[in-house]
């Protein structure tokens, strides 16, 4: 059982936050899926990742290709391939409790200006911590990411 990390966006974009988190995961050899609700959002993210500077390029692919299982970062809406050890949820996407408990890392990235995303993140926090999964709440109110709250795993 890993940790669910909630990132409350007040200054950064989803793309910038994902680049930060995904680079670390890929550097550690952790296969990751970025799960969104809207294909158009994933298409924009795919384009943004392709346009990053060469020295910070993040290898990735969109779900539905022949090499989904080999992607270090897979962008999609469906189930994660078996080798995935981390999932980043964007745009109000969901993960089940069993799925979250089996991951090394679950990132929930939500926009402070979007009431639906905020409500969804609060619901996920209650469900995840209620299930005994470790969780952290991060905010960037001061201009840099700071951990504001941490709930340890229960019964681990």
Domain at 17, CATH number: 3.40.50.10110
Mean pLDDT (whole number) for 131-135: 96
Q: Per-residue confidence at 156, pLDDT binned at 50, 70, 90? A: low
In a domain, 56, yes or no: yes
Could you tell me the two tokens for 24? 């670390």
In a domain, residue 79? The reply is yes
Number of folded domains that form the chain? 1
Please compute the mean of the pLDDT values over residues 121-129 and round it to a whole number.
97
Distance of CA 15 to the CA centre of its chain: 11
pLDDT in tens, 91-121: 999 999 999 999 999 999 999 899 999 999 9
Residue 122 lies in a domain: yes
Does residue 156 fall inside a structural domain? Answer: no
Percent pLDDT > 70 in the chain is: 99
Measured between its terminal Cα atoms, the distance across the chain in Å is 8
Q: Which of 78, 133, 141 lies closest to 112, judged by CA?
A: 141
pTM equals: 0.94
Q: Cα-atom radius of gyration of the chain, to the nearest Å?
A: 15
State which residues form the domain around 109: 3-151
Q: For residues 14 and 109, what is the distance between their CA atoms, to the nearest angstrom?
A: 7
């Amino acid at each position: 059982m890993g940790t669910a990390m909630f990132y409350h966006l007040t200054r950064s974009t989803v793309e910038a936050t994902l680049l930060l988190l995904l680079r670390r995961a890929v550097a550690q050899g952790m296969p990751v899926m970025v799960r969104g609700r809207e294909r158009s959002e994933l298409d924009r993210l795919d384009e943004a990742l392709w346009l990053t500077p060469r020295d910070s390029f993040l290898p990735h692919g969109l779900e539905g290709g022949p090499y989904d299982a080999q992607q270090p970062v897979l962008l999609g809406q469906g189930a994660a391939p078996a080798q995935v050890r981390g999932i980043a949820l964007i745009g109000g996407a969901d993960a089940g409790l069993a799925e979250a408990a089996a991951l090394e890392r679950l990132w929930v990235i939500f926009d402070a200006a979007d009431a639906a995303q905020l409500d969804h993140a609060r619901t996920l926090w209650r469900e995840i911590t209620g299930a005994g999964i470790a969780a952290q709440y991060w905010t960037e109110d001061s201009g840099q990411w700071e951990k504001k709250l941490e709930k340890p795993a229960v019964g681990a």
